[in-house]
Chains A and B, each alone.
Chain A
C-alpha cells in the first residue's frame, strides 16, 4: 500500500498530501530525496531508496516543469507496487488542471485522488492478469529448444559484452557462469530475445556454437580489458586462489612477496634501502628545496573571458537535417513566439548532441547519459520562452546542472579544518588513496609544500611499504622540504605504520600528517581490505582519492568500487567514505576535462586540489566556471 503521496512546489511549499493514509513517515525521506537525488542531478533515476530510522521506503517522483511542481509517492520497499508510475502521471494531469498559484489548499483534490487511485489499481490488476495468461503459452513454445537457447544466450552475452568496455570483469565471470551452469540460466534471461532469435537463426549446429563460444571467450580473455591493469585482471581471477592461500601462512612468518605473474618467485630480498643512521642523514647530496615561489593554489585564476554569447551560429551544425520534421520557417516562427510545451521528442536531438559533445570531452558515457536524462526530466513540459531556441534552453539547463554538481556540498577550507584540529590538540590526518600510478606521492609532496607556505607543520608517513623506492622518494621530498618523515622501511603492515606515525605526530606537535599508501586496483579484494583496515584503525580526517584526469570511463568504476569497499568493510556506524578528490595530471589534457565531472558525480565528493604539473608549486583549486565553460564549448 502507498505510504504517502505528496505534491509540493519547487520552492518548498507542500500543496497537498493524501489524508486517507494517516501514518506519518518515519525519518525524513522527502528531504533526503531532495538533497541527495534531485539536487544531485539524478532526477533521471527511476526510484530512490531510503533506509533509516527503521524504515525502508522506495520513492518515485515526477515533475511538472511548467508549473514548477513535484509529485512524490512513498511506499514500503518490500511491496512492489506496479501502479505507482501510472498513478503519478494521472495525478499530475488532473492536478495541473486545478492548480492555481494563488491557492494554497486543495482539499477537493482528495476525492479526485481516491478515484484516480482506484483506476490505477484496477489497471495494474488487469495488466498483471494478462501477463499471467501470456506466460504459460511462452513456456510451451520453448520446450523444444531448451539446449539451443541456452547456448545462444551465452553467445549473445559474449557478443554484447565484447562491445562494451566497462563491465568486462563482470562479463568474464558471467560468461564462465553461463557456459558451465547456465542452460536454465540462459533460458530465463534470454526469454524475450531468444523467442525472436530462435525464429531468426533457425537450426544451427550446436557443436559449432560451443566451439565458437569457447574460442571467443579465450580471445577476449587474452585481449584483456582496456584501461588499467589489463592482463593482470584476467590472470588475477585465476590466481586469486593462490594468492589467498599465500597470504594465510604469511601471518606466522614475514609477509611473502606479492606475486603478480606466474613467474617463479625470486627468493632474494629486494630491499635495497641504504643503511641510514638516526637523523636520516645520507651521504648523498641533498638539495634543500629553496622557496620556489607561491604555490598556484594561492594565485588568482586568470582566464580570458571569451565572449559570453555562446556561438549561437554553431549549433546550427548540430541540428543536422535528421531531425528536421518541421520546415525552417515554422521553427524560426516558433522560436520567436515561444512554443506551447517542450516535448521529449523536441529535446532529444539537442540532448543527443550535447551528450556527444560531453563524451568528446572525456566524460564517462554513463555519466553523460544520466546527466542528459536528468536535464530532460527537468525541462519536459516547460514552456519555451520567446526568442529562445530549444538548443539554447537545453544548454542553459545543462550549464545550471553542471555548476550545481561541481559546486562542493560542504566547505573545502582545509586550513580551517586544520585549525579546528589544532585546537583539539590532535593532528589532522590525510590519507591518499588511489590506483597505481596516478601520482599520489608526487601530489602529497605538493600538498605538503602548500601547507608549509601557510605556516602549518607537516609530517609525512610512508605507508607505501610495497613499491621499491617509495620510502626513499618520500624521504627525499621530506629532506628537500625539511619536514619530519615517519617510516618503517618495507614489508611492514601499513595500518600499524600509520598508527604509530599519528602517535609520533601527537608527540612532536605536528599539525598535519600526510599518509601515503600503495596504489591498488579497485577489484583487488585483499588489497582493498588492507586499505579499509588502515582507514578504520586510524580514523583519518580526510580520505583523499587521487585520480588522474586522463582516465576515461574507468573513473566511474574506480570510484564506485573504492567507495563501496570502504563502506562494506567498515564497522557499522562508522562509515568513512571518500571525502575529497585530488585530480592529477591536469596539464596533460587540453580541454578534455570531463574526468572531473565523472568523478564528482559518481562519488559526491568535491575536488579539493588539482595537480597541474610535476613541481612543487603546481597545485591549484578547481575553478568551476571555467570547467563548465570548457565542457560546453
Chain B
C-alpha cells in the first residue's frame, strides 16, 4: 500500500511539472504547434478520402500467346514495334490512348496493366485484381479450340475471385487476331466459353463445399450458365492486335473510366 501511495505522489509531481512546463512556453508557439498537427491530420484524411474514388486501373489478362502485350503497345503507341515474345513480367503504364492523343483538352489517363499469361506467373494476377476497375480477357480467336479448356478455366478463376465478385468488376471478353481468315466469330467463342464454364461449374461444385480453390460460384443454380447470369457485366468484342483494330476495347475502357 505504501508503494501505491508513493507512486501516486510521484505521478502528481510529474503532472505538476508538466503543466508548469507547458505554461512556460509562449502561447504563439503552442498555437502554431497545434495548428500544424491539425493541418497534417486533415491533409491525410482528405488524401485517404480522395483515394477512395474510382481507380483507373484496367487489367489485360488471358492465356499466354493470346496477344496481350501487342494490344498493350497498340493502345499506347499505335504500333507493336518489332514484335513481342512471351512476357516474364507485367507491363504497366499510365497513358492516354494513342488515338486520343489528337483530341484536345485534358483526358484522364488510363493505368493499363498487361499481366503475363503463363501459368507459372498466375499469382501475379492476384496482386492486381483488387485495384482493377475493369478487366479485359483476351482470347486467341485463331487457336481457340485447343486452348478452350485452359482459357475457360482461367476465366472461371477470375470470375470467381473474391475481389471481382464483390466489386462487380466488368469484364470484356476480347477475341483477338480476328484479322486472320480462319479466326472464329465472337458468337461462337462466347457460346463455347459458356459451355465450358458450365462444365467447370458442375465439376468444381461437385467437389465438396470446403473446396478452397474458388471463393464463390457463379451463375444460377439449375440453369445452364450464361454470361448474363453474372452480377458483373460481361461483354464480348473483337479486336486485332497486329492491324491496330482496337476500337471496341477502347470504347469499353472509356465506358468505365470517363475521359
Contacts and interface: CB of A to CB of B under 8 A. Distances in A.
A276 interface: no
B69 A13 contact: yes
Given A408-B119, A415-B203, A299 B87 contact: no
A105 B73 CA distance: 13
Interface string B79-119: 00111111111110000000000000000000000101011
A413 interface: yes
A14 B82 contact: yes
B193 to A, nearest CB: 15
Interface string B60-85: 00001100010001000100011111
A303 to B, nearest CB: 12
A70 B88 CA distance: 10
A404 B120 CA distance: 5
A105 B204 CA distance: 48
B221 interface: no
A30 interface: yes
A542 interface: no
Interface in B190-228: 199-200, 202-204, 206-208, 210-212
B166 interface: no
A269 interface: no
A17 B85 CA distance: 12
B78 to A, nearest CB: 11
Contact of B87 (A11, A15, A104, A105): A11
Contacts of B73: 13
B150 A411 contact: yes
B119 A409 contact: yes
Given A39-B120, A408-B119, A419-B203, A13 B84 contact: yes
Contacts of B120: 39-40, 404-405, 407, 409
A12 B86 contact: yes
B210 A298 contact: yes
Given A35-B118, A415-B203, A8 B210 contact: no
B212 A17 contact: no
A300 interface: yes
Given A15-B82, A300-B212, A416-B203, A39 B88 contact: yes
B122 interface: yes
A36 to B, nearest CB: 11
B85 A30 contact: yes
A6 B86 CA distance: 13
Contacts of B202: 419
Given A104-B77, A403-B123, A11 B91 contact: yes
A252 interface: no
Given A39-B88, A39-B120, A16 B82 contact: yes
Contacts of B116: 12
A104 B81 CA distance: 7
A173 B202 CA distance: 56
Given A13-B69, A14-B83, A298-B211, A404 B88 contact: no
Contacts of B150: 410-411
Contact of B121 (A6, A39, A416, A454): A39
Interface residues of A, number: 42
B123 A12 contact: no
Given A294-B208, A419-B199, A454-B206, A12 B69 contact: yes
A10 interface: yes
A38 B64 CA distance: 15
B203 A413 contact: yes
Contacts of A38: 88
Interface string A297-311: 011110000000000
Interface in A397-426: 403-405, 407-411, 413, 415-416, 419-420
Contact of A416 (B82, B200, B210): B200
Interface string A1-39: 000001010111111110000000000001100110011
A454 B119 CA distance: 27
A299 B210 contact: yes
A215 interface: no
Contacts of A34: 85-86, 88
B207 A415 contact: yes
Contacts of B179: none
Contact of B86 (A31, A299, A411): A31
A39 B118 contact: yes
B119 A14 contact: no
A292 interface: no
Contacts of B81: 13-15, 104-105
A300 B210 contact: yes
- Choose among A35, A415, A419, A420 the residue with the greatest number of B CB atoms under 10 Å from its CB: A35
B90 A11 contact: yes
Contacts of A31: 65, 85-86
A608 B153 CA distance: 18
Nearest to B73: A13
Contacts of B204: 413, 416
B207 A12 contact: no
Contacts of A420: 149
A272 B239 CA distance: 70
A180 B206 CA distance: 65
Nearest to B87: A12
Contacts of B82: 13-17, 105
21 contacts: A6-B85, A8-B84, A11-B69, A11-B87, A11-B90, A13-B69, A14-B82, A38-B88, A39-B88, A40-B120, A70-B88, A104-B81, A300-B212, A404-B120, A404-B121, A409-B120, A410-B150, A411-B150, A415-B207, A416-B200, A454-B207
Given A12-B91, A408-B119, 6 more contacts: A8-B85, A12-B69, A13-B69, A14-B81, A39-B86, A454-B206
**Would you list the 3 A-B pairs with minimal beta carbon distance, nearest first?**
A12-B87, A11-B91, A10-B89
